[in-house]
Amino acid sequence: MPPVIARTREELAAVRSGARGALALVPTMGALHEGHRSLIRRARAEAGAETGTVVVSVFVNPLQFGPGEDFDRYPRTLAADLAVCAEEGVDAVFAPGREVMYPAEPEVTVRAGTMGERVEGVTRPGHFDGMLTVVLKLFNLVRPDLAVFGEKDAQQLAMIRRMVADLDVPVRIVGAPTVREPDGLALSSRNRYLSAAERATALALSRALRAGADAAADGPAAILAAARGVLDAAAAAEPPLAPDYLVLVDPVTFTEITGPHEGPAVLAVAGRVGATHLIDNVHLQPGPAKEH
């Protein structure tokens, strides 16, 4: 059965009141790909194959794009997204217009705090404020029991977990693993901007993470040096990769790990190829630094 499409708050309220069992929400900005399919399947598994309800939201949130970013050209492919949702057995798609999500220019918004000013927040000031604001609104409108987000946006996931804890939002957050192309490129709706040559350069991001992960046993400095080597080569490629950051961070706070470290870490990387901003990350367990 095709999913019910709710475009207004009233239509969403009808979906909500007809929902059976646990309700799982998968918030997206559309342009759905295999990575989103894996989030939807995880939502179905978590909500209950027979008894639960899966809702996918599709909304390109203007609040989380800065001046000069790709809000205008962000792919809007609702017909194709609905077909994906139908194939995946989604119960309902919430696809509001801007006037539904923001009937008035928002005055009171979520502030991401210092955590939102780190790492990706340096490159995209205000991005996490806008992202958290729309996610909290979606939680309030859909009132899900659980919501599924991809680990590819590791800082986004950490910030949502933090918001839910700090503001006592009654929803369980589930993280789902990054889905990659066979050659390692992390799936992203922005990959469709890339020419073949740009895509080849973009592969350096996942290669850098693999090089870093391979050096994990030798400690933080070795991880960063190994990953940096790959990025430096890509910076000299044609077309070049313009790195935005390469950092080893605490997975919960996203503070940078600069010295010896015990416990899990995230190696996060971002860069631009042409006009396209791409991010990727890997979880690893750094060993003690090697004595030289």
The contact mask relative to ligand PAF for 241-270 (x = CB under 6 A, - = no) is ------------------------------
Question: 247 or 279: whose CB is closer to ligand PAF?
Answer: 279
Active-site entry in 36, 127, 261, 277: 36
Region binding ligand PAF by CB under 6 A among candidate stretches 23-31, 167-175, 215-223, 262-270: 23-31
Residue 131 makes contact with ligand PAF by CB under 6 A: yes
Q: List the x/- string, 134-173, binding to ligand PAF by CB under 6 A.
A: xx-----------------x--x-----------------
- Binding part of the chain for ligand PAF, among 43-51, 129-137, 220-228, 271-279 by CB under 6 A, reads 129-137
Min dist CB 261 to ligand PAF, Å, is 28
The backbone torsions φ and ψ at residue 153, rounded to the nearest 5 degrees and listed phi first, read -95, 70
Question: Which residues, numbered 50-109, are part of the site for ligand PAF (CB under 6 A)?
Answer: 61, 64
Q: How does DSSP assign the chain, residue by residue?
A: -PPEEE-SHHHHHHHHHH--S-EEEEEE-S---HHHHHHHHHHHHHH-TTT-EEEEEE---GGG--TTSSTTTS---HHHHHHHHHHTT-SEEE---HHHH-SS--SS----TGGGGSTHHHHSTTHHHHHHHHHHHHHHHH--SEEEEETTSHHHHHHHHHHHHHTT-S-EEEEEPPPB-TTSPBP-GGGGG--HHHHHHHHHHHHHHHHHHHTGGG-HHHHHHHHHHHHHHHHTSSSPEEEEEEEEE-TTT--B--S---S-EEEEEEEEETTEEEEEEEEE---PPPP-
User: Hey, what are 103's tokens?
Assistant: 């009937």
Q: Is residue 28 at the binding interface for ligand PAF, with CB under 6 A as the rule?
A: yes
Q: Give the range of 26-34, 80-88, 92-100, 202-210 binding ligand PAF by CB under 6 A.
A: 26-34
Which amino acid type is present at position 68?
A: G
Asked whether 204 and 241 are in contact (CB, 8 A), the reply is yes
Minimum CB distance to ligand PAF, residue 103 (Å): 18
Closest separation between CB of residue 57 and ligand PAF, Å?
7
Q: d(Cα 11, Cα 268) in Å, to the nearest integer?
A: 39
* 175 near ligand PAF, rule: CB under 6 A: no
Establish if 178 lies at the interface with ligand PAF (CB under 6 A).
Answer: no
- 127 given a catalytic annotation: no
Nearest to 286 by CA among 218, 209, 228, 225: 218
CB of 12 to ligand PAF, least distance (A): 16
112 touches ligand PAF (CB under 6 A) = no
Interface pick for ligand PAF out of 3, 27, 116, 220 (rule CB under 6 A) = 27
For ligand PAF, give the closer residue by CB, 122 or 197: 122
Least distance in angstroms from the C-beta of 71 to ligand PAF: 11
Q: Which residues form the interface with ligand PAF (CB under 6 A)?
A: 27-29, 61, 64, 131, 134-135, 153, 156
- Active-site positions read 36
